[in-house]
Structure 1
Amino acid sequence: MLIKSAEHLWLYTLIMSTSVLLGQVCLLPQAFKSIKPCKFSKEDCIEHIKPLFVLSIAVIASTLYTVFDKTLLGWFFPDQKEQVAYYEYSYKIIQIPTSIIVVVGTVLFPRSCACYAKNDMEGMKKYFNLSIYFTFFIAFGAILGLIAVSDLFVVEYYGDAFAVCGNIIKCLSPIILILSLGEAIRTQYLIPMGKDMAYIIITAIIALLNIALSCILIPVIGIYGAIIGTVSAELVGTVSQTIVCRKNIDFKKMFLSMIPFVIAAGIMYGTIIFVQRWFNDSTIDLIIQIIIGGTVYVLVVIGLFLLRKDYRNNIINYVKKKLKKGNESKQEPLVEISIEESNEKKEVLENE
């Protein structure tokens, strides 16, 4: 409603920062309600300064190198500033499914820390496997789904001027799986197990590699140099984290659990490409394609899991348990207790 021209940049900045501020302030009432005031000493604060400082180095490095790609694009191509916008807006689309997956790591992180504190390695494996299944489910669906509809999506969402973003999204899409897998390993094993220095070293390597590849490739192939630098650096980072935690990860099980999602995503991609011949380039057609692709993907995943005897038995047992519990609750007789009933009968009913 308020941004009408380039002169309203200051107003746009104010709206963006105020919205973030309000979002954080809205959390405070719940925090005050849930957390009671407590006394703490100077020693309590000092104890946490070092780990906070150590982890903040990695966060700062990560933030800097992700921003540096755009800076280099603007630096090497001062007459083609639109390339920065193409890269920025393509990366924002990639971040949507990635953010959904990262939420799982955020939720399971304290559970993994608690399991490690109790030396419950089986518990850590359980939560890691849960996060991996969810990661593969979202990541493979998002990657092949975006590749299938990105050309039409960017035109409908950003406009004709951003049509080139379709190819950029296709090239960036593998980073969804790479980042998500790295996030799962980092939040489920690396940080809970206290491997903070390994985390910092890996982040530093990612940052240096990304900057080096970007400086070499951007002058030669432009925006695709930034893409190669980002994807390659993140892949090295995820592989490095995996190597550090290799003793705790069942690689065979992890790769086998990937197969159903790869097959389902491939079938979904083929279905979308097949039905596109009957659709025009419009928003409604885009929505229909997304619905068709999503439905096919979910149904194929469910079908493939039902083919496995262990999963099928787990699902059947779960459904039977729920049905049995529901029937038992319906069949419980209603007993009316009168004043004249004997004390003995009252005691029996109260115990029941």
Structure 2
Amino acid sequence: MGKSIKKNYFYNLSYQIFSIIAPLITAPYIARIFGPEKVGIYAFINTVVNYFILFGSFSINLFASRELAYYKNDIKKRSQIFWNLVLLNFINISASLSLFYLYLFIKKPEYISYYFIQSLLFFSYMFDITWLFSSQEEFGKIALRNFVVRIISIILLFTLIKEQSDLWKYFLINSLTPVIANISLWGFIKKYIIFVKPHIKKAYSYFPRVIKVFLPTIAISIYSMLDKLMLGIFSTKTQVGYYDYSQKLVRIPLAIITSITPIIMVRMAAEFKNNDINSVKIYFYKSFKFATFLSFYLFSMMYSVVPEFIPWFFGNNFFATIKLIQIISPIIIAIALGTTAGHQFLLSIGEENKLTLALFIGAGINFTLNLFLIPKYQAIGVSLASVIAECSITIILYLFVSKYLNVLNLIKNNWYYLVFSIFTIIVVRFIGNKMGVSIITNIIQVFVGSLIYIVFVILVDKEIRNYFIQFYNTRFKNKL
């Protein structure tokens, strides 16, 4: 990887690690203050609001990042695209917000005051221009902004939330801080763009292409948000709370892997624009190796430590999440590998149609399974449906990628990570069964499990071994 990719990944990874630590600080406190039912109310309302936002923003950030990356050396063209996309986004979000308030007026849902507070999130997306900085590979500014805002959010949570009646404050903090975060980035745009008067006609000329890139996001939303809606409709808010916390915990380690996606996608898109297909393939192979190495490790850790982790961390009220997390944990591997194939490779070479098709098939599988599994198995049914859908999507994506790359070689050169992962799980579960529930148990489990996995990888995988040797020589040996 080039120097800028390493530096940008460091910025992104630093924040993602902090994003992992932050919930570990706040989640036990919030879980004990509100309990599963109140957590479920927040998750359900947040899902409804995000559906309206989804169809207002049309995930314009994905299209905008790629489009601006094509014109890194043309500030006039870049500025023209920027201001027209800002106008397009502003109009669409405003229309979506109006429809949301109309929905509240007609439906008059339970907890309507929480819906109004959460509607502040619309303004967060209205002023979001992180795509400008990601297109210019300026991930440092985004990471710094995120650090500051997240720290403020944590302080406010511990300062203002003391009892169950403070749920409205929880909504307010989580909806207002992103607004402030996104507005703050506007002070840095002068370095990258000049003002070019936007026009509605020109802005909406991009709309068909935005929709084309947006279609995969619709499919993703069906099984990433609709599952909570369906669970809330066919089951209880408590079940939603269990499922929401299980998903959140499983997706925390995923952030480490997927944090490289916008960086690689922007770089691949630039290389593809220059007709350098060979470089695109090289980036993909390295990204696949990285995703495989890390996802199998994180899966084995997540699956193994939760039985001893949940009771002392969240409390006995969330004991039911242990089984859910173990069921859901394979999506760490499926999403990591699927994102590498879809959102990095296919999207960067303009094959979003294939990505869209795979995601819609997965969404259909997820929706159908939810209809049958939720009434009988509740949160467990939703969890099983999610895993099957994610695995199906990943398989389909690699069938599409096989047109451009030798997928069988990828599997042949990386199959042993599954063996390492299984062996790690066996050892870590043995430790957990012997030592019982405690923080000390988890520390020993993570240390021993990590040591076993990394030693196996270094012994067997030459590429990873050379990377560790290079890292050691660069960081330590040369300084002695």
2:286 pairs with 1:110: no
- CA shift, 1:47, in A, is 4.8
Equivalence for 2:225: 67
2:189 is matched with 32
**Is residue 190 of structure 1 aligned with residue 367 of structure 2?**
no
> Please, which moves more after superposition, 91-100 or 62-71?
62-71
TM superposition outliers: structure 1 runs of 4+ over 4 Å:
40-44, 310-316, 318-323
Matched, 1:127 2:290: no
3-state SS of paired residue (1:191): helix
Question: 1:252 deviation in Å?
Answer: 2.5
Match for residue 232 of structure 1? 388
Task: Name the counterpart of 2:303.
Answer: 147
1:173 to 329, 333, 338: 329
Q: Which residue of 2 aligns with 1:81?
A: 237
In the TM superposition, what are the counterparts of 1:271-290 in structure 2 within 5 Å?
A: 271-290=427-446
Which amino acid is 1:201 matched to? L
Q: Deviations over 1:221-274 (max 9, x none)?
A: 222221222122222222222222221222222113323422332332233233
201-210 vs 163-172, which deviates more?
201-210
Q: Aligned partners of 2:465 and 2:392: how far apart in 1? A: 37
Asked if 1:265 corresponds to 2:421, the answer is: yes
By how many angstroms is 1:26 displaced?
A: 4.2
Aligned counterpart in structure 2 of residue 58 of structure 1, from 216, 219, 224 = 216
Letter in 2 for 1:284: I
1:322 to 1:85, Cα distance in 2 relative to 1, 3 A: closer
Match among 440, 451, 454 for residue 298 of structure 1: 454
Instruction: Tell me how far 1:95 sits from its aligned partner.
Output: 0.7
Deviation of the 1:279 alpha carbon: 2.4
Instruction: Name the aligned partner's letter for residue 228 of structure 2.
Output: K
Q: Secondary structure at the match of 1:281?
A: coil
CA RMSD between the two structures: 2.9
Paired residue total = 320
Distance in 2 between residues matched to 1:326 and 1:273, nearest whole Å: 40
Q: Deviations over 1:103-145 (max 9, x none)?
A: 1111100111122222222211111111111111221111111
Q: Distance in 2 between matches of 1:313 and 1:177?
A: 24
Q: How far apart in 1 are the matches of 2:445 and 2:478?
A: 39
Shift in Å, 1:199: 2.8
The percent of aligned pairs where both chains have the same amino acid is: 26
Give 1:10 deviation, angstroms: 1.4
**Gaps (5+ residues) in structure 1?**
331-352
- Equivalent residue letter for 1:275: I
Residue of structure 1 equivalent to 2:402: 246
CA contact (8 A) 2:401 2:407 kept: no
Q: Which letter maps to 1:4?
A: K
Matched residues in 2 for 1:63 and 1:94: separation? 17
How far apart are 1:194 and its partner, in Å? 1.6
Aligned partners of 1:26, 1:217: CA distance in 2, in Å? 44
Q: Distance in 1 between matches of 2:443 and 2:184?
A: 33
Describe the superposition over 1:40-83 as per-residue Cα deviations: whole angstroms up to 9, x where unpaired: 66476455322212222432342243222122222222xx4321
Deviations 1:140-160 (CA, angstroms, capped at 9, x unpaired): 111111121111111122111
Q: Is 1:223 aligned with 2:382? A: no
Taking the aligned partners of 1:126 and 1:69, their CA distance within structure 2 comes to 36
Gap regions ≥5 residues in structure 2: 1-158
2:366 aligns with one of 191, 210, 215: 210
2:180 paired with 1:22: yes
Amino acid at match of 2:194: P
CA contact (8 A) 1:214 1:229 kept: yes
Select the structure of larger CA radius of gyration. 1
The amino acid that maps onto 2:166 is H
How far 1:6 sits from its partner (Å)?
2.8
SS at match of 1:39: coil
Secondary structure in 2 matching 1:249 = coil
